[in-house]
Structure 1
Amino acid sequence: MTFSTLTSDFYGFENGLEDREKEVLANLRHYLETEVKPLVNDLWARAEWLPAHVVTGLADLGLFGMPWAETQPFENSAVFRGWVALELARIDASVATLVGMQNGLVMGAVGVAGSPEQRAEWLPKFASGEWLGCFALTEPLSGSDSAQGLRTTATPDGDDWILNGSKRWIGNGTIATHSIVWAKSTEDGQVKGFLVPTTSAGWSATKIENKQALRIVQNADITLTDVRVPGALKLANANSFRDTAAVLRLTRAEVAWAAVGNSIGAYEGAVRYGSERVQFGKTIDGHQLIQEHYSKMLGNITSSIALCTRVSAMLDSGEQRDEHAALAKEFTTSRMRETVAWARESMGGNGIVLDYDVIRHFADAEALYSYEGTREMNALIVGRAITGKAAFV
């Protein structure tokens, strides 16, 4: 069976996928092009959430729960899951963030730190879309220093836990049915993880307004005031920040893939525009400077796909370490920033109009550049691996 690949996959990396993976990716590509892409500019402009049928459609395609034995729709690789993140972000980075949140961070927390019983009960509900999750780690005063600076507390009370504190920038926070909340135990000072229904007494979520990137994602400020969580909802194996870090390690490389997809979305918009816009008697894609822009963008995209392919293959083989994922995220988001700027520049003034499908990727790049570890923090993770010396403070 033959499958068409993206023209922006200049070296044909997608051809390395298994036929079943290519088939699923082709179905996803068709769904996104026909059902999602026509909606995203308007939703982005109005900062509105995706229609329910889109989320259901993503769940029906098997995108939630791909890594986990309890919910895996078919045997698949980390490289394939990276291509899924790329394809989602090529259409819209907010859609990629939704799937990354549900499939990676939320289900990842359950998959990595849940007991077998918790995994068996909770993962299928997230995979089907019955439950929609958010991942509450970042706080108003704690972002990059979450390992040490977490202020949300968890206090034992009989068989229950009482949570108090605040969270910020929580994607899906106003629409999630359940949240993975990370809090520091007042008993031993260690970070614990909890599955918290968002209908719990004392839970409050307020949408962050005036956000100019990932506008479809409903980021929230969360306040927890004496939220009582039954002991059965504590993640059984989430007992220190090392367990939190294990979840983040699984998802950081997929954010790198999403950065490549966001770059491709801007690149494709610029190339499409260049084939139609006439200046000085010919379409602008026939001018030297524009072609140079295209070449630089494609070089960034191609090198980033190569790096992502290798780092995900290392996850499949059990070789991937924190510094490998950190380098991928640092590199691809930096190249993304360059690529979306060249794409916008090649279009002149029209590059800032949503109708031409580039400025959205340009703005969303700023969020991808910062979340799941800033460029600077990822550089220090890599630097520690190089030198053996931690230079975080």
Structure 2
Amino acid sequence: MDLNLTPDELAFRHEVRDWVRANLPADLSHRVLNSLRLSRDDMQRWAKILGAKGWLGYAWPQQFGGPGWNAVQKHLFEEECALAGAPRIVPFGPVMVAPVIMAFGSPEQQKRFLPGIASGEVWWSQGYSEPGSGSDLASLKTRAERHGDKYIVNGQKTWTTLGQYGEWIFCLVRTSTEGKPQTGISFLLIDMKSPGVTVRPIIMLDGEHEVNEVFFDNVEVPAENLIGEENKGWTYAKHLLAHERTNIADVNRAKRELERLKRIAKAEGLWDDTRFRDQIALLEVDVVALEMLVLRVASAERSGKHSLDIAGLLKIRGSEVQQRYTELMMQAAGPFGVPFMLEAMEAGWQGDQALGGMWPGGAAHCAPLAGTFFNFRKTTIYGGSNEVQRNIVSQTVLGA
């Protein structure tokens, strides 16, 4: 296993870095680096910039219009985007459903759906979790009954991230009740503008509208929107979940936020506190270890070995690191980490006193921390809870 970058890979890093710096809008970078709210237009704007370059589907093979990068190049691209303050690519289209369409979709489906994903024009959502069916996803109850050349879908999905923006949603639906629960699941692509689709917001503690409930009331879906074979959707779902869990690890964002934690500690006078700096050092060791694991995966893929069997391990460690840096940020900020005055932040007058700001009630580098802290409590649950992932790792990796 060779974790050193080759000269070609170093040149690639500089090429990506130069392009991102030249094309990333400054206002987007400012919002990301300061954890300010991103609108749909903000996220879509960056997606279309990447799409025009052919890099939104940065993990795609050339045969489907991607750049054909290897695992190391993909990692370097993600790292440079994160460190520059680029908005995170909304994964549901290019990272999650696209690989399923490539692997299991028909040529007609590939031609129909992939171009809109690659360009950033079409916003996709994920329809997996249901009330009572989260980590035990195979117990899902949303039904799809075949009637001629269409399916009639009834049921409910929940925790649908950014579903209020969705134009299409990929869903796991039950098409049979015979045999094991996993054997009766199918994978459907549903137009969210279809009659009978209702999206209801779930407002979180910080007032944000990030997640939703999605209801299906006699929704008609053309049978041609079925991916692969009926009742084989569990196989396709596992393929997608491996990509999702690897994506959740997000070591590159962790490296960026680690530097932000250091800035907050210095601004709040805690950098000289040996015990607190020890905690930052321990976190940095964990981030480096996570990066080594990611590079190990990349090295294996570079040599043609399959690596997605440790996706659960990446998800476990990545989500724990994310929770830890939000905890340390809150500790560093102290009382200034509690308020979340969105209107003040959006207006630009919640200034940092240490940097000459005028507002005496807090600091700009602390203001969003409470919302982020509470939001990141979910990371060890979504994408398959960490408790379940540990069981999977023990069986598939350790052979226990």
| TM-score normalized by the length of structure 2 | 0.79
Q: How far off is 1:362 after superposition?
A: 3.3
Q: Distance in 1 between matches of 2:247 and 2:185?
A: 24
Contact (CA 8 Å) 1:13, 1:305: kept in 2 or not? no
> What is the percent sequence identity of the aligned residues?
20
Amino acid aligned to 2:365: Y
Change (3 A) 1:251 1:23: farther
**What amino acid is the match of 1:127?**
A
Q: Distance in 2 between matches of 1:388 and 1:253?
A: 21
Pick the aligned partner of 2:174 from 179, 184, 201.
184
Residue 203 of structure 2: SS of its match in structure 1? coil
Q: In structure 2, give the amino acid aligned to 1:113.
A: F
1:200 to 2:194 alignment: yes
Q: Relative to 1, partners in 2 of residues 1:17 and 1:172: Cα closer, same or farther, differing over 3 Å?
A: farther
Contact 1:70 1:123 in 2 (8 A): no
Shift of 1:224: 0.9
Q: Could you tell me whether the CA contact under 8 Å between 1:153 and 1:184 is conserved in 2?
A: yes
What displacement does 1:381 show?
A: 0.5
Residue 369 of structure 1 is matched in structure 2 by 380
Question: Do residues 382 (structure 1) and 373 (structure 2) align?
Answer: no
Partner of 1:59: 51
User: Which residue of 236, 251, 255 corresponds with 1:264?
Assistant: 255
Give 1:139's aligned amino acid.
E
- How far is 1:312 from its partner? 3.4
Contact 1:262–1:361 (8 Å) recurs in 2? no
Give the TM-score of the pair, scaled to structure 1. 0.80
Aligned pair in 2 of structure 1 residues 325, 115: CA closer, same or farther (>3 Å)?
same
Residue matched to 1:166:
156
Bigger relative contact order (CA 8 A; separation at least 6)? 1
Report what 2:141 is aligned to.
151
Q: Do the aligned partners of residues 245 and 34 (structure 1) sit closer, same or farther apart at CA in structure 2, a change above 3 Å counting?
A: same
The residue that corresponds to 1:5 in the other structure is none
Structure 2 distance, partners of 1:329, 1:319, is: 20
| 1:44 CA displacement | 5.0
Aligned residue in 2 for 1:133: 124
Q: How far did residue 117 of structure 1 move?
A: 2.5
Q: 1:113 aligns with which of 92, 95, 104?
A: 104
| Mapped partners of 1:232, 1:346: distance in 2 | 54
Q: How does 1:1-393 map onto structure 2 within 5 Å? A: 17=9, 19-28=11-20, 34-40=26-32, 48-51=39-42, 52-68=44-60, 69-85=62-78, 95-96=87-88, 98-146=89-137, 148-186=138-176, 190-212=184-206, 215=208, 218-237=210-229, 239-256=232-249, 258=250, 260-278=251-269, 284-321=270-307, 323-352=309-338, 355-356=364-365, 359=369, 361-385=372-396, 388=399
* Equivalent position SS for 1:208: strand
**Structure-1 separation of matches of 2:93 and 2:214:** 18
Secondary structure in structure 1 of the residue aligned to 2:121: coil
Contact kept in structure 1, 2:312 and 2:393, CA below 8 Å: yes
Q: 1:111 to 1:313 in 2, by over 3 A?
A: farther
Judged with a 3 Å threshold, the aligned counterparts in structure 2 of structure 1 residues 66 and 241 are, in CA distance, closer, same or farther, namely same
| TM-superposed deviation, 1:22 | 4.2
Q: Do the aligned residues in 1 keep the contact of 2:34 with 2:365 (CA within 8 Å)?
A: no
Structure 2 vs 1, CA of residues 296 and 245 (structure 1 numbering), >3 Å: closer, same or farther?
same
Distance 1:315 1:135, change over 3 A: farther
Alpha-carbon deviation of 1:140?
Answer: 1.5
Provide closer, same or farther for how the CA distance between residues 223 and 38 of structure 1 changes in structure 2, counting only shifts above 3 A: same
- The one-letter amino acid of 2:164's match is T
Note the alpha carbon deviations across 1:101-127, whole angstroms, 9 max, x for none: 221112223223211221122111111
8 A contact 1:92–1:262 mirrored in 2: no
Alpha-carbon distance in structure 2 between the residues aligned to 1:288 and 1:127 = 48
CA contact (8 A) 1:192 1:240 kept: yes
Pairwise CA distance, 1:371 = 1.9
Alignment deviations for residues 321-353 of structure 1 (CA, whole Å, 9 cap, x no partner): 554111111122223322332233234333446
1:385 counterpart letter in structure 2: T
Q: Secondary structure at the match of 1:174?
A: helix
For structure 1, which segment, 105-114 or 160-169, has the greater mean C-alpha deviation from structure 2 after superposition?
105-114
| Kept in 2: contact 1:115–1:237 (CA 8 A) | no
| Shift of residue 67, structure 1, vs aligned partner | 2.6
3-state DSSP of counterpart to 1:135: strand
Residues 280-320 of structure 1 deviation map (CA, whole Å, 9 limit, x = unaligned): xxxx4344234323322221211111111112333454533
Contact 1:85 1:254 in 2 (8 A): no
CA distance in 2, matches of 1:313, 1:321: 9
In structure 2, the partner of 1:7 is none
Output the CA distance in 2 between the equivalents of 1:87 and 1:253.
Answer: 18
Letter in 2 for 1:365: F
Quickly say closer, same or farther: Cα 1:135–1:313, change in 2 above 3 A: farther
Q: Structure 1 370/102 Cα, relative in aligned 2: closer, same or farther at 3 Å?
A: same
Matched residues in 2 for 1:132 and 1:14: separation?
Answer: 36
| Structure 1 spans left out of the alignment, 5+ residues | 1-10, 279-283
Aligned length: 366
Give how far 1:254 is off: 2.0
Structure 1 counterpart of 2:360? none
Query: Matched residue of 2:165: which SS?
Result: coil
Letter in 2 for 1:329: K
Change (3 A) 1:21 1:265: closer
Contact 1:33/1:91 (<8 A) preserved: no
* Pair 223,16 (structure 1): closer, same or farther in 2 beyond 3 Å: farther
Q: CA deviation at 1:15?
A: 8.3
Q: Structure 1's 364 and 165: CA in aligned 2 closer, same or farther, altered over 3 A?
A: same
The one-letter amino acid paired with 1:270 is L
